[in-house]
Structure 1
Amino acid sequence: QCSLDEALEILEQLRAGFAEQGFQDGLFGLQGDFPSRRVRGHSDAVAFFTALEELTMTVYENLLPRYRFRSGWNGVRSLHASMELAMSNDLAQRLQGEISLLLGLPRDALAYFLQKEQEVLVHRPRGDGPVPGWPGALRADVDGELAHEFWEEDPSTGELLRRGPVFSHDSW
Structure 2
Amino acid sequence: MAGKIETRLKELGIELPAATAPVANFVPCVQTGNLLYVSGQVTAFNGEIRHVGKVGGTISLEEAVQAARLCALNVLSQARAFLGDLDRVTRVVQVQGFVNAEPDYRDHPKVVNGASDVFVEVFGDAGKHARFAVGVGSLPLGVSVEVAAVLEVK
Report the structure, 1 or 2, having the larger helix content.
1
Q: Which has the higher contact order (CA 8 A, sep 6+)?
A: 2
Report the structure, 1 or 2, having the larger strand content.
2
User: In terms of Rg, which structure is larger?
Assistant: 1
The question of a shared fold, defined as TM-score above 0.5 by the shorter chain, is answered with no
